[in-house]
Amino acid sequence: MDGTTGTVQRVLTQPLRPLGVTVGVLLVVATLAAVAGTPWQTHASMAAAIVQMVAAVVMGVIGVGLAYISWAADA
């Protein structure tokens, strides 16, 4: 029972931690979806595809960073 109580207390003291992890994971999944969409085959110009891929990579880095910071906040 003590492990469950400790988990509940930790969540209550940091209510935004689950939200930060969830949003970070969502951004990583969106990055994978952007890459899976193969923008280099659907855009008329290669410059637009490159911009989209750079933005997807930046979004993935932000997502990983947010999830890591939220997860390791009490470490």
Q: Could you give the CA distance from residue 34 to residue 37 in angstroms, rounded to a whole number? A: 5
Q: Where does the pLDDT of residue 1 fall: very low under 50, low under 70, confident under 90, or very high at 90 and above?
A: very low
pTM for the model:
0.73
Give the pLDDT confidence of 33-65 residue by residue, as tens digits: 988 888 778 767 888 888 888 999 999 999 999
Q: Could you give the CA distance from residue 27 to residue 5 in angstroms, rounded to a whole number? A: 30
Q: Where does the pLDDT of residue 5 fall: very low under 50, low under 70, confident under 90, or very high at 90 and above?
A: low
- Over residues 9-25, the mean pLDDT reads 79
Q: Could you give the CA distance from residue 48 to residue 71 in angstroms, rounded to a whole number? A: 34
